[in-house]
Amino acid sequence: MGMQIVYCDIDKPGNLDINQMIDLIHHHQPSAVLVVHNFGTLVDVSQLTEACAKYNVAIIEDAAPSFTMGEPYDYELGTFSDAVCFSFDFTKSPGCLGAGGAIATNDPLNYERFKTICSHTTSQWGIGTKSYLDTIAAAVLLKDIELIEQMQYRQHRVEIATYYLNKLPYKTLSGKNYIFHRFIILPEKDEKQTLLKKLKSQKILAKSVFEPNTNSCSRANEFYEQAIELPCHQFIDIEDLNSRNEKIL
């Protein structure tokens, strides 16, 4: 799309480093910043507003793995941004059939732009795409939200995360997390591949985090060299998980 991308390094919770982002905004004066809320932890976007307002920089939030449902986070998604994007992919919580998502905005003009682009029409903002959430997928999504609340699925995810915290001898991410889309463990670099093989031998669906596509972010690369994602979904049986882990540790 002809865009010039500048990467920001991460902090201890695995999200962008706020202080570095502010420095980058002052130095590059970009058109927009993209803030990713990772693994169920949230970035306090309000800390970026002063620098962004000075240079008329738009703020876009990517909350794909961090859709909140009344959890007591200090920051409420979308409060200080121009738009916030959500994913309802079937692997997310909540999720629908296959892929799906939503965009929220407080700006009436942005709302009209998004609505036009998502409704397969042509306008001054370009040619639209077939990217709306169909009726059946939306119905599945609403039912999933109902079940999450009714069955206390979010609370069970926290129980699984608490088990990992208490039982596994590895560091994890800091920051408040009530969603636990994945649970991150940070073994030593030379342990990572061996541990992944052990976890997979017990049919625990562990995987490495994505490798950064830039060498300019040293902490993100260090994070990749260590970090392993463990499943933390609500259907995990803790007793079964415990028996598997005992064969590994």
Q: In the chain, which segments carry CATH 3.90.1150.10?
A: 152-246
Contact by Cβ (8 Å): 245, 167: yes
CA distances from 186 to 52, 54, 178, 200, 207 (A): 33, 38, 19, 17, 12
Q: What is the CATH number of domain 18-146?
A: 3.40.640.10
Which residue ranges does the chain devote to CATH 3.40.640.10?
18-146
Interatomic CA distance for residues 61 and 45, integer angstroms = 8
pLDDT in tens, the chain (249 residues): 788 999 999 999 999 999 999 999 999 999 999 999 999 999 999 999 999 999 999 999 999 989 999 999 999 999 999 999 999 998 899 999 888 899 999 999 999 888 888 877 777 767 777 777 888 999 999 999 999 999 999 999 999 999 999 999 999 999 999 999 999 999 999 999 999 999 999 999 999 999 999 999 999 999 999 999 999 999 999 999 999 989 988
Alpha-carbon distances of 221 from 11, 12, 20, 201, rounded to whole Å: 12, 13, 16, 26
CATH fold of 152-246:
Aspartate Aminotransferase, domain 1 (3.90.1150)
Could you tell me where the beta strands, DSSP code E, fall in the chain? 32-36, 58-62, 83-87, 101-104, 122-123, 126-127, 183-185, 207-208, 228-230
0.75 surpassed by pTM: yes
Q: How many CA atoms lie within 13 A of 27 on its CB side?
A: 9
Tokens of 17: 């480093």
Q: How many C-beta atoms surround the C-beta of residue 229 within 10 A?
A: 17
Q: Is 48 exposed, middle or buried (0-12, 13-18, 19+ CB in 10 A)?
A: buried
Tell me how far CA of residue 178 lies from CA of 36, 72, 211, in angstroms: 17, 8, 25
Residue 125's pLDDT is what?
67
Residue 161, phi then psi, degrees to nearest 5: -60, -40
Element (H, E) at 192: helix 192-201
Assess contact for 129 and 46: CB atoms under 8 A: no
Report the distance separating Cα 117 and Cα 39, nearest Å: 29
